[in-house]
């Protein structure tokens, strides 16, 4: 069974359309979304509509929760006051732009999807099995991965949230971060997703898709969102830098 896993679309319609064309060419057995349809990008309604029209099974991301429930917080971690202020602007803007019908859809999303009976079993979440907004970077303490492996058992745990892709096997459990379709943060501006071949020895193919990031950035600027969000799109997050060690300390529960 080959599954395409998309995460962190973040209202980037240009990236999503390009990824979908690539997914079509790959002809997987199924497509799932690991959450965060909205936030930061200029097309929240269009991206939510894209997912709804194609009936893509989707888990709730922290940004989906913040917008869907009209919360004052999105469950994000910030490294500075300026970054928090930009994040607050994004949340207010996205809440104002997203239609009531699409907010209701975001509220309806499940916290996880468990695919049992496959070989191996798959657990799909946004941040981690413990919390929607937990940052599961690859360099988190090994003890954390070991505890989750013991709790969830043999299989694959797939997630997003950090916007940085990787695959890591701990004991008999695979941890797979799908990266980000709409807002990569690993210095590569191409849209990213992963195809997981779920069999006795799972295989992961991390795919990157070139799209017109400058057009997406122009839409961000035209929409009145912070210019830093546009810069992030064309730089793959390199414009702001990624301090994984700082972010991962927040909301870890450790």
SS3 content of the chain, % helix, strand, coil (to 5): 35, 20, 45
Q: Which CATH superfamily is domain 2-114+181-248 in?
A: Metallo-dependent phosphatases (3.60.21.10)
d(CA 58, CA 60): 7
- Residue 155 falls in which region: left (phi positive, over 0), alpha (psi -120 to 50) or beta: left
Q: Tens of pLDDT along 34-66?
A: 999 999 999 999 999 999 999 999 999 999 999
The per-residue pLDDT for 119 is 63
Question: pLDDT tens digits, residue range 132-185?
Answer: 999 999 999 999 999 999 998 889 999 999 999 999 999 989 999 999 999 999
pLDDT for position 129: 95
Average pLDDT, the chain: 92
Q: How many C-beta atoms surround the C-beta of residue 3 within 10 A? A: 20
Domain boundaries, the chain: 2-114+181-248
pLDDT of residue 240: 59
Q: Which helix (H) or strand (E) holds 45?
A: helix 44-53
């Amino acid at each position: 069974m080959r599954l395409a896993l998309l995460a962190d679309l973040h209202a980037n319609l240009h990236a999503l359309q390009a990824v979908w064309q690539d997914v079509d060419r790959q002809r997987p057995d199924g497509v799932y979304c690991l959450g965060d349809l909205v936030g930061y990008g200029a097309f929240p309604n269009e991206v939510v509509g894209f997912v709804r029209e194609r009936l893509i099974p989707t888990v709730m991301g922290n940004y989906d929760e913040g917008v869907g429930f009209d919360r004052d917080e999105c469950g994000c971690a910030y490294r500075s006051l300026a970054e928090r202020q930009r994040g607050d602007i994004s949340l207010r803007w996205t809440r104002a732009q997203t239609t009531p019908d699409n907010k209701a859809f975001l509220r309806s999303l499940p916290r996880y999807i468990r695919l049992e009976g496959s070989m191996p079993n798959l657990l799909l979440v946004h941040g981690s099995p413990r919390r929607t907004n937990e940052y599961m970077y690859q360099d988190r303490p090994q003890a954390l991965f070991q505890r989750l492996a013991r709790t969830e058992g043999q299989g694959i745990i797939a997630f997003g949230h950090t916007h940085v892709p990787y695959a890591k096997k701990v004991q008999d459990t695979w941890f797979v971060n799908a990266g980000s379709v709409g807002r990569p943060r690993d210095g590569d501006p191409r849209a990213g997703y992963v195809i997981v071949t779920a069999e006795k020895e799972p295989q992961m193919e991390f795919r990157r898709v070139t799209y017109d990031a400058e057009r997406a950035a122009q839409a961000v600027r035209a929409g009145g969102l912070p210019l830093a969000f546009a810069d992030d799109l064309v730089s793959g997050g390199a414009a702001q830098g990624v301090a994984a060690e700082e972010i991962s300390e927040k909301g870890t529960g450790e």
